Structure 1
């Protein structure tokens, strides 16, 4: 597959979309100083190339927790007994399918995985730990850090503008 080249217009489009993906095509074109048809064509190309994976709404966990729970955020380090590719992929697939797991990273050195999970409260976290870690005979060690304050949260990738 041929590698895509990005020019400054593409980078500016990506930057604007990272900040606010809800912009209309007209507004996005105006911010990047291109015509709306050109903007639409370029954004479509960026999607098709996989540079834009998806567009989502980022919810306020702090405000939502008062209404719907999910007030407990944990960063969990997982070490497996067996690290062969099949074991790593099986664990990764199982945690990725669980709605409570917001992020999953395979890491090295140290633990095999770092997860970011959200739960309504401690009993909810304990149920998550039981279904994802305790029942898996290949999980050797679980180390959990509970967030007391979120100082920064984002998904923005710095771009060379």
Structure 2
């Protein structure tokens, strides 16, 4: 299987992607110095990587632990969802409802096992119960829900390993 219009990434592209995954606030000058190119070339390369979809978006990752200390709340749950029926329409409908909910941080369609795994971040247990009612109990197609509540986050990363 060949991918048409596939862009080849050279060593400089890969190094830029690695550096940006570590810290997206680097200036073009600082990045250029790291990969030994001019700032203008660095800017053009990053723009191309963005335009071609290698860089989806740049975000600020907040610390749920620090927010919980400051605001007095925070509950993370990993939730497995199995549906009664696995037609494309039913799967797509549940997925659309899940991704539209602000408290759902991640939605993964998985196989084998459950149909979906969600990562949810809510204020507290009553907020989780409200989310469960919205997404799981109001939908007649949801057959099984298994929730796992985080007691400690040992590792969290967003980086994709680049050789």
TM-score over 0.5 (shorter chain): yes
Counterpart residue number, 1:99: 102
Partner of 1:61: 64
1:88 matched residue in structure 2? 91
Counterpart Cα distance in 2 of 1:86 and 1:113: 15
Superposed, which structure 2 residues align to 1:2-151 within 5 Å?
A: 2-68=5-71, 70-151=73-154
Instruction: Tell me the CA shift for residue 69 of structure 1.
Output: 5.2
Question: What is the CA-CA distance between 1:25 and the residue it aligns to?
Answer: 0.9
Size of the aligned set, in residue pairs, is 160
Deviation of residue 130 (structure 1)?
0.4
- The separation in 2 between residues aligned to 1:9 and 1:137, in whole angstroms, is 51
Structure 1 unaligned spans of 5+: none
Q: Which residue in 2 is equivalent to 1:152?
A: 155
Task: Provide the rounded CA distance (Å) in 2 between the counterparts of 1:8 and 1:58.
Answer: 27
Displacement over 6 Å in runs of 4+: none
Displacement after TM superposition at 1:67 (Å): 3.0
Deviations 1:98-117 (A, max 9, x none): 01000010000000000000
- The answer to whether the 8 A contact 1:105-1:113 is kept is yes
Distance of 2:68 and 2:161 partners within structure 1: 30
* Stretches of structure 2 lacking an aligned partner (at least 5 in a row): none
Question: What is the Cα deviation at residue 65 of structure 1?
Answer: 1.6
TM-superposition CA deviations, 1:47-93 (whole Å, max 9, x none):
01101000000101100123345510000000001111111111111
Once residues 55 and 141 of structure 1 are traced to their aligned partners in structure 2, the CA distance between those partners, rounded to angstroms, is 35
Compute the RMSD of aligned alpha carbons: 0.9
Determine the C-alpha separation between the residues in 2 that align with 1:154 and 1:104: 16
Say if 1:69 and 1:121, in contact at 8 Å, map to a contact too.
Answer: no
